[in-house]
Structure 1
Amino acid sequence: MRGRIPAAMACALTAGAATAEQVRIDLIERQVTPPPILSNMIAPPADLGAAGARLAVTDIATTGKFMGHDYALHETIVAPEAEFLPAVRAALADGARLLVVKAPPADLLALADLPEAADAVIFNSSAPDDTLRGADCRGNLLHTTPSLAMRADALSQFALKKQWTDLALVQGPNPEDAAFAEALRRSLTKFGIKVKGEKGWAFDANMRRVASAEVPLFTQDLPDHDLLLVADERGDFGRYIAYNTWVPRPLAGSEGIIPKGWSGVVEQWGAAQLQGRFRDLAGREMQTEDFGAWAAVSAIGEAVTRSKTADPAALRAYLLSDQFRLAGFLGTPLSFRHWDGQMRQPVPLVTDRAVVGLAPLEGFLHERSELDTLGQDLPGTECTRFGEMP
C-alpha cells in the first residue's frame, strides 16, 4: 500500500534498530589561549572544528540507521589551564577508540604515545605541521587537514601556471610563520621557482594608523618580483601589506591568494549543499578546521559502512587501503596516503570572495595520483611508523 510499510518490513526494521551496533566517536579539543596580535577584529568562533564534527555525525546517521550502526559523538573540551592527558585518559578508559582531535602537535604526540591509545585511531583535524607527517609521525595518527607542504605546493603550482617565477617573501616573527615560510622555500625550490628577496616583519606598532606610511618604505628595497609571498599564519600583519607595497604586486600565502583546506567561498562539486547545511547548523561559514573535523568523522562513517565493522584496527587498515574513497565536495574523491596517514585532498586557492584555483592544477601529473603532487610524496618521506601500529 502506498505510504505504508508492510508489517514484515516494519518488524525487521524494529528488530534492526534494537540490535544496532554502537559506534562511538570522540571529539577531543585542547583549547589554546590566542596569542596577542596587532588587530583583534575577527575572533575565532567558539565552535571552530566542533561544528564540522557535529554536522558529519548528522550526515552519517541516516546511512547508519539503514546499515545497523548507531553513531554517538562524545565531546571532551580541555581548558588551556587544564592538564590534557588526564582528560584524554579518562575518555580512553571510558571506551574511546576513534578520536577526532583538535590540539597542538605536542599534545597530539603525547596522546598518540599513550599505551592506552595504542589500539586507537586518532585523526588530527587541525594541526598542519609537516613534522607530524614526517620524522614525528605516529602509526595511529591520521591527518584530515592539509599539511604546510601541501598548501605551499598548491601555491607554487599556481605561481608556475601564471608564470610568476620571480618571487619575494615577507616572513612574520612567530614560529608558525617560520614553519610556513620554510615550507614555501622548499616547495618553490621543488618547482624551480626562485625567491629573489626576503624581509622579516619588524613592526609592533598600531599599523591601522601607520601602515600607509611604513609599509611602502619596508617593501621599497625588495628586488623586482612578480608575486609577494606573506607568511603570517596568525593573521597579524598581512592585511596591512595589501595595497601599501612600494610597487603594486599580487599577494599570496597567508594573505591575498590563500591556499586553504576549505573556505566558505567553495561552491562547486556539491559544496554549496554542504555549506548550506553547515550554515543552518552553525550560523556561520565553514572553515578549514571545521572541514578537517567533518572529513574525519565522515571518513569513519564511510569506513564503518564499507568494511561493516567498527573495530579500530580493521578501520585503520581499510582507511589506508586503495579501496577507501570519501566524497569530499572538492571535485576528486579523498583518500589516505599509506606512508604517513595524510588525507589526499585538493587544496582550494581562495580570496575572501572567490576560488581562483584548485590544486593540483592541470598539467601537474603523477604516476599514482595527481593529488600526490601536493605535499610529501612516498620517495622522500621521513615517516617510518606506518605499516604497523605503534
Structure 2
Amino acid sequence: MRCTIAAATAALFLSLPAAAEVTVSVHYLAVERELPPTLSNLDPRPERLGLDGAAVALDDNATTGRFMGQTYTLSETVVPLGDDVVEAARAALAETPLLVVDGPTEALLAIADLPEADGALIFNATEGDVALRGDACRANVLHTIPSTAMRTDALAQFLVKKRWDDLPLIAGAHPQDMAYASALERSLTKFGLSVGDRKDWVFDADMRRNASQEVPLFTQDLGDYDALLVADELGDFGRYILYNTWEARPIAGSEGLSAVTWAPVVEQWGAVQLQNRFEEAAGREMAPEDYGAWAAVRAIGEAVTRTNSADPAVLRDFLLSDGFELAGFKGRPLTFRAWNGQLRQPIPLVHPRALVALAPLEGFLHQRTELDTLGIDEPESTCTAFN
C-alpha cells in the first residue's frame, strides 16, 4: 500500500507546478462527554477514539507533503469534564486556525462563535446533530461525519427496497436515542413510509439475565410486522432485543441492520487498505469517529495540495468548490455541500459480520447527485450561514 500511495503521489506531483514550501498545523480538540451507564461493558470507548484517525490521515498527508514541500503537524487537547471548553479552544486557535473537533453540539457552537474563530476553519468530526447542518449551522464549520439524517435516510431507502412498511419502533430515553428516533420518523416519511407502534424502553433490570423472559413479553403486543426498528444510540439495550422478540422478525436501526459512517466489514473500494493501515497504527479497528477525523485531516491535505496554501479562507473556498474531491474508500469521490458544509458520502448498511448494501441505493435519483438523497437537501435546508 505504501508503494501504491508513493506512486500516486509522484504522479500527482509531476502534474502540478513547482510550489513554495508550506507548513500546515492542525489542532485536534476533544471534549469529553458525560455518558450514562449502559447494561453492557463489551464495547469500551478507546482512549484515542477519533484522534487515531486524525493521526493516520496526517501520515497520509505527509506522504504527499514530502513531494510537494509541505510539512504537516498535529497537536491535541483533551478537555476533561467540567473544564472550560472556550479557554481550551482559544489556546488552540492561538496556535492554528485549523481545528478538528470531537465534541457535542453546544461545545462546537461555543468554539465556532468565538471572536478568535472568525476566519478559522473548524471540522466537526464526530457530532451527527442535524441542527448543526440546519438552523444552528456556522459558516466556519464543515462536517466530515455524516448527519444522523443521512444515516436514517440510508436505512429508509433499504426498507423501501425490501418493501417493508409495517415498522414498529422501540426507542431509548436518552437524548441521543430520541434524536435518532426523530430522524428515523422523518426519513420514513420522506420515502413514503411511517413508524408503526412505538414503545419506549423503560427497563432498568439486568437484561443479561432477564432478556429471554422480558423482551418477548415487551414485544408481544406489537403483533405481526415486517421489521422492528430500534433507537439505541448508546448501545445500551438493543443487543438484547435481537432473537428475543415475540415474533421472529428482522431488527434494524441502532442494532441488527445498521446504517453507519464506517465499519470493519467495509472492505471494497480499497477500504481494506485503510483498515489495515489503521489497525497497524492504532492496534484496533477503525470506528466511525476515527473515520470522521481521518476525513477531516485528509480533506485539509487535499486542499493544501491543490491550492498550495495553508490559509483557511483559501482552503474553505476550495473545499466548497466543484474542484474538490476526496478519495474516501467508499466507492465514489466525496465532496462538500456548498449550502451547509456537510461532506457528501455513501453510507454503508451493515451487520456485525458483513456489508449488506451501500446507500444511496439504485433507483433513488437526484438532479445533482444521488448522494444528495441522503440527509437534508438544499431546497429543504434551513442553513443560511453559507449563502
**What TM-score, normalized by structure 1, do the two folds share?**
0.93
Describe the superposition over 1:56-77 as per-residue Cα deviations: whole angstroms up to 9, x where unpaired. 0001101111111101111111
2:178 counterpart residue number: 178
AA paired with 1:36? P
Any idea what SS the aligned residue of 1:362 has?
coil
Q: Identical aligned pairs, as a percentage?
A: 60
2:155 counterpart residue number: 155
1:49 counterpart residue number: 50
Asked whether the 8 Å contact 1:262–1:287 carries over to 2, the reply is yes
- Give distance in 2, aligned partners of 1:93 and 1:44: 30
AA paired with 2:46? P
2:145 counterpart residue number: 145
Any idea what SS the aligned residue of 1:337 has?
coil
Asked whether the 8 Å contact 1:197–1:223 carries over to 2, the reply is no
2:70 counterpart residue number: 69
- Give distance in 1, aligned partners of 2:82 and 2:186: 36
AA paired with 1:385? A
1:58 counterpart residue number: 59
2:287 counterpart residue number: 287
1:327 counterpart residue number: 327
Describe the superposition over 1:32-69 as per-residue Cα deviations: whole angstroms up to 9, x where unpaired. 23321122222111111000000000011011111111
Residue 229 of structure 2 corresponds to residue 235 of structure 1:
no
Asked whether the 8 Å contact 2:121–2:141 carries over to 1, the reply is yes
Asked whether the 8 Å contact 1:166–1:226 carries over to 2, the reply is yes
- Give distance in 2, aligned partners of 1:338 and 1:194: 30
TM-superposed deviation, 1:194 = 2.4
Describe the superposition over 1:300-347 as per-residue Cα deviations: whole angstroms up to 9, x where unpaired. 000010112111001001101111000000001000000110000000
1:29 counterpart residue number: 30
Which runs of 5 or more structure 2 residues have no equivalent in the other structure?
Answer: 1-19
Asked whether the 8 Å contact 2:142–2:341 carries over to 1, the reply is yes
Describe the superposition over 1:132-168 as per-residue Cα deviations: whole angstroms up to 9, x where unpaired. 0001000001100111110000000011111112111
2:342 counterpart residue number: 342
Aligned residue runs from structure 1 range 125-274, under 5 A: 125-274=125-274
- Give distance in 2, aligned partners of 1:79 and 1:203: 31
1:307 counterpart residue number: 307
Asked whether the 8 Å contact 2:321–2:338 carries over to 1, the reply is yes
AA paired with 2:346? P
1:98 counterpart residue number: 98
Asked whether the 8 Å contact 1:339–1:383 carries over to 2, the reply is yes
- Give distance in 2, aligned partners of 1:224 and 1:322: 48
**What TM-score, normalized by structure 2, do the two folds share?**
0.94
1:14 counterpart residue number: none
- Give distance in 2, aligned partners of 1:223 and 1:189: 22
Asked whether the 8 Å contact 1:29–1:101 carries over to 2, the reply is yes
- Give distance in 1, aligned partners of 2:40 and 2:218: 19
- Give distance in 1, aligned partners of 2:299 and 2:108: 19
Asked whether the 8 Å contact 1:339–1:378 carries over to 2, the reply is yes
Any idea what SS the aligned residue of 1:126 has?
coil
Asked whether the 8 Å contact 1:168–1:223 carries over to 2, the reply is no
- Give distance in 2, aligned partners of 1:148 and 1:188: 13
Is the radius of gyration larger for structure 1 or structure 2? 1
Asked whether the 8 Å contact 1:196–1:223 carries over to 2, the reply is no
AA paired with 2:285? E
- Give distance in 2, aligned partners of 1:299 and 1:364: 27
Describe the superposition over 1:236-282 as per-residue Cα deviations: whole angstroms up to 9, x where unpaired. 00011000000001111100011100011100000000000000000
Any idea what SS the aligned residue of 2:368 has?
coil
Any idea what SS the aligned residue of 2:252 has?
strand
| 4+ aligned runs moved over 4 Å, structure 1 | none
Any idea what SS the aligned residue of 1:267 has?
coil
Asked whether the 8 Å contact 2:238–2:255 carries over to 1, the reply is yes
Any idea what SS the aligned residue of 1:66 has?
helix
Describe the superposition over 1:78-137 as per-residue Cα deviations: whole angstroms up to 9, x where unpaired. 11131111111111123x111110001100000000010011010000000000000100
1:9 counterpart residue number: none
Any idea what SS the aligned residue of 2:195 has?
strand
Count, aligned residues? 370
Describe the superposition over 1:195-248 as per-residue Cα deviations: whole angstroms up to 9, x where unpaired. 221111110111111110010010011142111000000000001100000000
Any idea what SS the aligned residue of 2:221 has?
coil
Asked whether the 8 Å contact 2:22–2:308 carries over to 1, the reply is no
- Give distance in 2, aligned partners of 1:37 and 1:201: 13
- Give distance in 2, aligned partners of 1:259 and 1:226: 18
AA paired with 1:42? D
- Give distance in 1, aligned partners of 2:55 and 2:67: 20
Asked whether the 8 Å contact 2:223–2:247 carries over to 1, the reply is no
Asked whether the 8 Å contact 1:360–1:370 carries over to 2, the reply is yes
Query: What is the alpha-carbon root mean square deviation over aligned residues?
Result: 1.3
